[in-house]
């Protein structure tokens, strides 16, 4: 971009990307949502003292900056060039650097990190298995992954997967030996527990967790480095085809509705939306 990122007015970009690229230190978002995001980074920061940390899918970098207060070093990675520019402009620190890259297949070295933090990432990628395999590759043998996901929120315009506890644990089990589960609740989301905060999932007294956090250890061998890109793309195509087939099934059901009879009556059959007038 031609504009100096440090002088750029980021407010229009934050507004345009409100649903996907948040800054939890900005009052442009509701206090309960901001606290939900900040609380999990505080939870992770307590486990990062003196460590080399990767913040995978770091977004705008507010969480990377929080982690940097405890860690020896932090690398924030995100696929969005705008998000990385924002992070560099707003949340730079002496022990933090930001890299633009897909979390599924990064340019970073094997066993480079003692802790990886990745919040609300798996549901946004078409390759969650490759993502977790990449985290296992980047972790040292005694390292830890701290990862979160919404718990059964359903599909949204930004979520490729509806991840519940069963699916979350199945994904983790392909790349890690052990994990501990925690609830992460705002206390305000309808249909979930009103018990706000973070705590062991087994201690949740009522309802179900709004979000799940896993602290994972025992990274499993990630396989041949030369095949990482191929495995990532195979998973993307496999999952994209599955979603396409689901769409076809839904479209077929829609075509059988009585509304289709009305459409035929009004001569809409086979016409483009622009032509329906």
| DSSP labels, 22-48 | --TTSTTS-HHHHHHHHHHHHHHHTT-
Give the separation between CA 83 and CA 61, rounded to whole angstroms.
8
Q: What pLDDT was estimated at residue 2?
A: 38
The pairing of beta strand 113-119 with beta strand 52-56: parallel
Give the separation between CA 58 and CA 83, rounded to whole angstroms.
8
E strand spans, 101-138: 113-119
Give the separation between CA 93 and CA 89, rounded to whole angstroms.
10
pLDDT in tens, the chain (277 residues): 334 555 688 888 778 777 778 888 888 888 888 999 999 999 999 999 999 999 999 999 999 999 999 999 999 999 999 999 999 999 999 999 999 999 999 999 999 999 999 999 999 999 999 999 999 999 999 999 999 999 999 888 889 999 999 999 999 999 999 999 999 999 888 889 999 999 999 999 999 999 999 999 999 987 777 788 899 999 999 999 988 888 888 777 766 655 555 455 554 443 333 333 3
Q: What pLDDT was estimated at residue 273?
A: 38
Give the separation between CA 123 and CA 145, rounded to whole angstroms.
17
Any residues with CB less than 8 A from the CB of 60 and at least 6 apart, and which?
A: 14, 21, 22, 23, 83, 86, 87, 90, 91
Question: Domain 11-222 is classified in which CATH homologous superfamily?
Answer: Vaccinia Virus protein VP39 (3.40.50.150)
By C-alpha distance, which of 69, 112, 107 is closest to 91?
Answer: 69
- For 138, counting Cβ atoms within 10 Å of its Cβ (0-12 exposed, 13-18 middle, 19+ buried), the class is buried
Length of the chain: 277
Q: What pLDDT was estimated at residue 25?
A: 86
Domain ranges of the chain: 11-222, 224-277
Q: What pLDDT was estimated at residue 20?
A: 77
Give the separation between CA 74 and CA 79, rounded to whole angstroms.
17
By C-alpha distance, which of 54, 218, 213, 73 is closest to 143?
Answer: 218
Q: What pLDDT was estimated at residue 65?
A: 97
By C-alpha distance, which of 78, 140, 80, 137 is closest to 115?
Answer: 140
Q: What pLDDT was estimated at residue 188?
A: 86
């Amino acid at each position: 971009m031609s504009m100096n990122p440090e002088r750029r007015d980021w407010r229009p970009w934050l507004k345009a990307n409100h649903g996907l690229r948040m800054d939890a230190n900005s009052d442009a978002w509701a206090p309960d949502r901001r606290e939900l995001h900040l609380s999990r980074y505080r939870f992770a920061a307590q486990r990062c003292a003196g460590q080399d940390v990767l913040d995978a899918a770091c977004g705008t970098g507010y969480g990377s900056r929080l982690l940097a207060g405890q860690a020896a070093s932090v690398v924030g990675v995100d696929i969005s060039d705008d998000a990385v520019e924002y992070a560099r402009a707003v949340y730079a620190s002496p022990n933090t650097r930001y890299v633009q890259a897909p979390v599924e297949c990064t340019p970073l070295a094997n066993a480079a990190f003692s802790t990886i933090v990745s919040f609300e990432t798996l549901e946004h990628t078409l390759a969650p298995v490759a993502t977790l395999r990449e985290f296992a590759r980047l972790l040292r043998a005694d390292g830890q992954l701290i990862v979160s996901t919404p718990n059964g929120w359903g599909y949204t315009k930004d979520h490729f997967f509806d991840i519940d506890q069963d699916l979350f644990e199945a994904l983790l089990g392909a790349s890690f030996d052990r994990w501990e589960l925690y609830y992460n609740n705002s206390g305000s989301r309808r249909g979930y527990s009103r018990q706000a905060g973070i705590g062991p999932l087994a201690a949740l007294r009522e309802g179900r967790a709004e979000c799940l956090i896993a602290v994972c250890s025992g990274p499993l061998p990630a396989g041949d480095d030369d095949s990482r890109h191929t495995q990532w793309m195979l998973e993307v195509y496999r999952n994209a085809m599955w979603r396409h087939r689901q769409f076809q099934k839904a479209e077929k059901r829609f075509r059988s509705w009585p509304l289709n009879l009305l459409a035929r009556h009004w001569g809409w059959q086979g016409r483009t939306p622009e032509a329906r007038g």
